[in-house]
Every structure is written in C-alpha cells, then in structure tokens.
Amino acid sequence: MLETTWFVIWGVAWAVYFMLDGFDLGLGLLSPFISKTETERRIAVNAMGPFWDGNEVWLITAGGVTFAAFPAAYALMFSALYTPLMMLLFALILRGVAFEFRSKVESATWRKVWDGSLAVGSGLAALLLGVAFANLFAGIPVDAEGVFQGNFLTFLSPYGLAGGVFFVVAFLHHGALWLVVKTAGDFRDRARAVSFKLWVATLVLAVAFLGLTAVYTQLWTNLLGRPALLAFPALAVVALVASPVLSRQRRAWAAWGASAAFLACAVGFGVAGLFPTIVGSSLDPAYSATAFNSASSPLTLKIMLGVALSILPLVIAYQTWVYVRFGGTVTAENMEDGSSY
C-alpha cells in the first residue's frame, strides 16, 4: 500500500511539474519568434519571471521522490539516462542564466544573445523531457545487473523522437496561452492566433503519439486491464478540445487551465499505464525497476509520507499565493518600477 501511495505521489509530482514549468519552457522557446519589439520581448520574459524558478521546485520534488522512495529505480534511471539527464541539467542552467543576465547590459546584441539562450535552453529541455519519458514508456535496454546496454542514439528511436516533438509543441501551445493570460492589446491577439495554430499541431501530434504508443509500448494494454484508468486519456481529450473553445470565448485563464489539465492527464495516462513499473527493461520485464522491488523500507516510506503531508500543503499554499499575487497583466507601464527583467 505504501509503495502504491508513493508511486501516485511520484506521478502527481511529474504532472504538476509539466502543468507549471511546461508553459514557461514553451514561452521561453516561443518568445523570440512572437515578439516584434524589445518591449514585447521584455513583456514575454516578465510574464514568466515570477514563476519559472518556483515551477522547477516540482522537478526537484519529482527527483527527490524517486531518490527517497524508490532508490533502486533512481540509481537505474540516472545511470541509464545519464547523458540526456545531464543535457537537461545544462539546458535548464542555460535558461536560468538567460533570465538573470539579459537585462544586465544595455546592449541590443547582449539581449539578443540571452534571448537566444533562453529559447535554446527552453526548447532543448522540453525536447529532452519528451525523449526521456517516451523511452521510459517504451522501456530501456538494461540487463539483470542494471547496466545500460546501449548508447545515446538508443534513445533517438522513432518513438523517442516523437515524444520529444510532441512535448515541445504541447509546451509551445501551453506557453502561447499563458502569454494570452498575461498580455493585452495587439500582442495578446497575436498570441491567441498563434495558440490556435499550435493547438492544431498539438492535436495532430497527440493522435500520432497515442498511435505510436500502442505500437511501441504496453501502456494501452495495461490501461485496458484497469478500465477505470481510461479516464485519463478521456479527460485529456476533453481538456484539449475545450482549450481553443474557451480561448475563442476570451476566457484566457480557463483556456490555459484546460491546457494544463490536458498535460496533467497526459502524464496520468503514461504513469498509470506504467504502473507498477518505474524504469522498464526492454530486454526482459524481469529486469525492470518497479514500485515494489525498488522501494525503500516500509518505515522509511511511512516517515517520509508524514513529512510530505506536512510540507507539501505549505509549498502549494505559497505557490498559489505567488500566482494570485503576480497574476495580473504585464504591460510596458508596470515594468518601469525597476524590479522587472
């Protein structure tokens, strides 16, 4: 029971991370292309500014849960996925540095370099997350000793690349909707128009990725064995369809919320389809790390559950306050107080 509880917490942490950091990864990649002036570029950056580092707390949470609750799975994951995870770390560092450095020097060239760095770091992070999770869904060639029997090119299978592209486009759509929430006037109208185009691309890629999932993984088979869990793909479809409808109705927050729900349910689909596997072996299912054979001791899981139930509400309350406090529209006027990027 404790192992299952922590598996659910692990999945929820990843779902929240993609809901929140997904929009600033997407907007970070999108901002240099959708912004026409320096003012618009600053608006795009400041639309993410108060949130991006807090959003990454959930990435740390997901990694921490893996390490503490499922140490054997953590060791296997970070050994087999060492190269893509290090690349992800460097991409996130590049993105964080770009936020802080772009306004340090009054130079158009300087800002252009860091805007490009923000786009590269954001886009690469989204791509690597998609590739990593697609490979987790399909299974990784690890042997009975947990040794990875492959190389970096092993991850770049058609299914792995499809997962990467799907994540990038879904995050771009999510980021465009966040820009609609946070901007006004012509910039907002342009962001809304771009979000419709990205929604079409997201829909097409979602259908393609689900089809490839049926070919390359056992996720659908596992879900069909537990029919109640089919609620995840069903709700994902509803949320994805609702997003452009709400956006056309000028309900920006609701449209963004629907996109967030789509990402959360998409993660729920993948995690529920994996259960109880965390890191599957494509060589032999017996070599896989599961919630049961890789978990910490029952006492450790019990103590950690008490700690999590005590601390997570505070984290959620604080982050909710941040979104309420800084949830207003970003304009050229309110960026002149000296505290903006």
Please write the tens of the pLDDT for every residue from 159-196: 999 999 999 999 999 999 999 999 988 999 999 999 99
Cα of 241 vs its chain's centroid, Å: 20
What does the pLDDT look like over 263-293, one tens digit per residue?
999 999 999 999 999 998 888 888 888 999 8
CA-based torsion, 86, 278, 72, 80: positive or negative: negative
Q: Is the pLDDT of residue 15 over 90?
A: yes
Which string of DSSP letters, residue by residue, matches 141-201?
Answer: -B-TT--B-S-GGGG-SHHHHHHHHHHHHHHHHHHHHHHHHH--HHHHHHHHHHHHHHHHH
pLDDT score recorded for residue 285: 86
CA separation for the pair 99, 82 (Å, rounded): 26
Neighbours of 63 (CB within 10 A): 18
Q: Which of 47, 39, 43 is nearest to 108 (CA)?
A: 39
Of the candidates 146, 136, 3, the residue with the CA atom closest to the CA atom of residue 69 = 3
- The confidence score (pLDDT) of residue 273 equals 92
* Per-residue pLDDT tens over the stretch 294-332: 899 999 999 999 988 898 888 889 889 989 888 888 877
pLDDT in tens, 217-261: 999 999 988 989 999 999 999 999 999 999 999 999 999 999 999
Architecture of the domain spanning 2-142+149-332: Up-down Bundle (1.20)
CB 341 within 8 A of CB 102: yes
Mean pLDDT of 39-51: 89
- Asked whether residue 338 carries a pLDDT value surpassing 60, the answer given is no
Q: What are the domain boundaries of the chain?
A: 2-142+149-332
Tokens standing for 312? 């997570």
pLDDT in tens, 111-154: 899 999 999 999 999 999 999 999 999 999 988 888 888 888 88
SS3 135: helix
- Mean pLDDT rounded to a whole number for the chain: 91
Own/partner long-range contacts of 156-159 (Cβ < 8 Å, ≥24 apart): 156/131, 157/216, 158/212, 159/134, 159/135, 159/212, 159/213, 159/215, 159/216, 159/217
Q: Reduced to 3 states, what is the DSSP secondary structure of residue 84?
A: helix
